Amino acid sequence: MPGPQPLEAANVSKLPPAPTQAAKLPRGTSGETGDRVFKFTMLLCGLAVLATLALIVYELVLRSGPSWHAFGFKFFAGRDWDPVNEQFGALPFIYGTLVSSLLALIIAVPLSVGVAVFTTEMCPKALRGPLSFFVELLAAIPSVVYGLWAIFVLVPLLSNYVQPFLGRTLGWTGFFDGPPYGISMLAAGIILAIMIVPIISSITREVLMVVPQHQREAALALGATRWEMIRVGVLRNARAGIMGGIILGLGRALGETMAVTMVIGNRPEIAKSLFAPGYTMASVLANEFSEATGDLNLAALIEIGLALFLVTIVVNALARLLVWTVTRGQPSRANA
Amino acid sequence: MPETAATVSLHAVPPIALRRRITDHVMTGVAVLTVILVLVPLFAIFAYLVYRGIGSINWAFLTQTPKPVGEAGGGMANAIVGSVFILALASILGVPVGVGAGIYLAEYGRNRFGDVIRFTADVLNGVPSIVIGIVAYSIVVLYQKHFSALAGGAALAIMMIPTITRTTEEMLLLVPQALREAAYGLGIPRWRTTLSITLRTATSGVITGIMLAFARVAGETAPLLFTAFGNQFWNLSANQPTAALPLQIFTYAISPYDEWHKQAWAGALVLIVLIVTAVAAVRFAVRRGTFGAA
């Protein structure tokens, strides 16, 4: 048995100094090694967070390379998406993502700010908890369930009632023109709006709650009505934070995939009318990624993913910055 | 009677004040209206889920695998189990890293480097799930050369980590410094203090964070499309394509078959019941948690 013997010998040779050290500092030495190992392990976990983001960037850049070399900047201006002839242009998807997200913001911002103002400034204290719980519940519904509901409830509603009405009254603008199929940019915008309301309203609520109470009291003391107090004393002070919440909602809307894919119609065309089908960056990834034919097709799709990634990073960083400037020093869930 | 009271007050106040008061009432009305407009879709979604879903849930739905198109019956048992399996994989990969990073930030990361990790976690939190799917595809699927539950689990783990990191940090920071000092005073090494005193005190909060992250990824579909991919049959190997509840709902919802639509509603109801139960449990735990009171 040659194996164990040297090991034992090593143990014996290390044994004698141990008691003297232990006598000096009973726990200290073992604690120091333990501390170092522990800190190092935790540091590795922290570094894993950094590494994950680095890995995302690396993989996206590396694998979108072929497409970048083939098309350059023209990739983002091209309107053709033709896997058979290997011609790829991302403009219709970029257009679809931007228009559906902006539409969602137009619908969601007034609603979310209204809900936040109502919960923090107007409603009885007893209602506050349940109300914010219900709004948060909206955030817990998975995207695919929103999509399911949109396909079978929202889309028929739109095509039977809303679209004919909008077509009659606002059809002349060109934005609400064409056959009312239901499946459309408009449907995508509405379902996105429902999905981002909880994000914008919960951030807005947080921001409104850190507005100092004496701002409200000062406005009221000057004879302001409640609405004037909210407008001058609360909303004006919370502008930057609300803007942060809106941009955070935009970030979510830009990257949202499933619900949009299920109702937007998935046609890579740029149409003025919101009744026309469209296509978004996230949707084309969801639909075509696992069926991509050939390396260039895959690279083009990953380049769309890279663009989506970069845009959401910028948007989110901006939002965090704005929210931080307002709620700095406050725990981020002040309402708990 | 109310009319006279109104006329009296009309005469009593100057016209400018009347306009301001009307604006005040109108804006209150607008705020109430926004609340109603937001709550209507919420209740509509839940009402439809229960109404369309409950009729399609039966024993077969919960115990059988999907039948081919045209045959009645069949269920999503494999997708339910597949979802649980993928989520378990994601938790095994994501929870230790997330909690560890949270501990690092709270105990050692009150500096520039900590801020960098903190910011990275926040950025990671905002990365669209479909992009994370792409990355899991190029790391795991391209390497293994086939779709697998492991790839799906990795994608969901990446999504869980930032949430867990930030909530763990927040919860650990809420533990009073005096508690740590008391432990140091007893000669307990720092690592032991962190694990047995600080983390232990913050357990309910940390678990809350983990469950929030769990609830968030439980309904995710996009990152599974080209990682776990879906499967019509039973599979419990981490190296094979695996069915997941959200994937199955998606496939069935966009299909042209009525029978599949019904199953999609039933699947959505099962999914939402699982998630809402988790969220409600979290709120309940937070409210009565020993830690929340401290």
- Residue B59 distance to chain A (closest CA, Å): 22
**Over residues A75-86, mean pLDDT:** 87
CB of A146 less than 8 A from some CB of B: yes
In a domain, A18, yes or no: no
pLDDT for A334 equals: 38
Domain that holds residue A188: 72-327
In a domain, A79, yes or no: yes
- The CATH number corresponding to B63-293 among 3.20.20.70, 1.50.10.20, 1.10.287.810, 1.10.3720.10 equals 1.10.3720.10
Contacts of A88 (CB under 8 A, 6+ apart): A67, A70, A71, A75, A78, A80, A81, A82, A296, A297, A300
User: How remote is the C-alpha of A162 from its chain's centroid?
Assistant: 28
In a domain, A221, yes or no: yes
Tens-place pLDDT, residues A111-169: 999 999 999 988 888 888 888 888 888 888 899 999 999 999 999 999 999 999 998 88
CB pairs under 8 A between A and B: 273
- Kindly give the interhelix angle for B112-126 and B149-174, rounded to the nearest 10 degrees: 130
- Selecting from B27, B187, B219 the residue whose C-beta is nearest the C-beta of A227 gives B27
Tens-place pLDDT, residues A287-333: 999 888 888 888 999 999 999 999 999 998 888 788 777 766 554 44
Tens-place pLDDT, residues B89-117: 999 999 999 999 999 999 998 889 998 99
Query: How does pLDDT run along chain B (294 residues), one tens digit per residue?
Result: 444 444 545 555 566 688 888 999 999 999 999 999 999 999 999 999 999 989 888 888 888 888 887 777 788 888 988 998 999 999 999 999 999 999 999 999 888 999 899 989 988 988 999 999 999 999 998 888 888 999 999 999 999 999 999 999 999 999 999 999 999 999 889 888 998 899 988 888 888 888 888 888 998 999 999 888 888 888 888 888 889 999 999 999 998 888 889 899 999 999 988 887 776 776 676 666 544 433
In a domain, A8, yes or no: no
pLDDT for B12 equals: 57
> Which one of B20, B110, B130 would you mutate to disrupt binding with A, by most A Cβ within 10 Å of its Cβ?
B130
A88: helix, strand or coil: strand
Closest chain A residue to B96 measured between Cα atoms? A45
Residue matched to tokens 């980590």: B161
Mean confidence (pLDDT) of chain A: 85
- Selecting from B100, B130, B161 the residue whose C-beta is nearest the C-beta of A255 gives B130
Cβ separation B221–A315 shorter than 8 A:
no
Among A residues 152-211, those touching chain B with beta carbons less than 8 Å apart: 152-153, 194, 197, 201
In a domain, A39, yes or no: no
Q: Where are the domains of chain B?
A: 2-44, 63-293
pLDDT for B51 equals: 92
Cβ separation B130–A257 shorter than 8 A:
yes
Residue matched to tokens 């595809």: B137
Cβ separation B122–A31 shorter than 8 A:
no
Cβ separation B161–A49 shorter than 8 A:
yes
In a domain, A117, yes or no: yes
The whole-model pTM stands at: 0.86
Q: Say whether pLDDT at A241 is over 90.
A: no
Residue matched to tokens 């209740």: B43
Q: Considering only CB atoms, which chain B residues are within 8 Å of A52?
A: 124, 158, 161
Total structural domains in chain A? 1
- Selecting from B127, B135, B272 the residue whose C-beta is nearest the C-beta of A312 gives B127
Domain holding A198: CATH number?
Answer: 1.10.3720.10
- Selecting from B32, B134, B275 the residue whose C-beta is nearest the C-beta of A60 gives B134
Q: Considering only CB atoms, which chain A residues are within 8 Å of B124?
A: 49, 52-53, 56
**How does strand A87-88 pair with strand A81-82?**
antiparallel
In a domain, A335, yes or no: no
Closest chain A residue to B217 measured between Cα atoms? A142
Cβ separation B128–A282 shorter than 8 A:
yes
Report the distance separating Cα A148 and Cα A159, nearest Å.
16
User: With a cut of 0.90, is the ipTM above it?
Assistant: no
Greatest mean pLDDT among A73-87, A88-102, A165-179: A88-102
pLDDT for B223 equals: 93
Number of C-beta neighbours around residue A280 at 10 A: 33
Cβ separation A46–B276 shorter than 8 A:
no
Among A residues 48-87, those touching chain B with beta carbons less than 8 Å apart: 48-50, 52-53, 55-56, 59-60, 63
Residues in chain B, total: 294
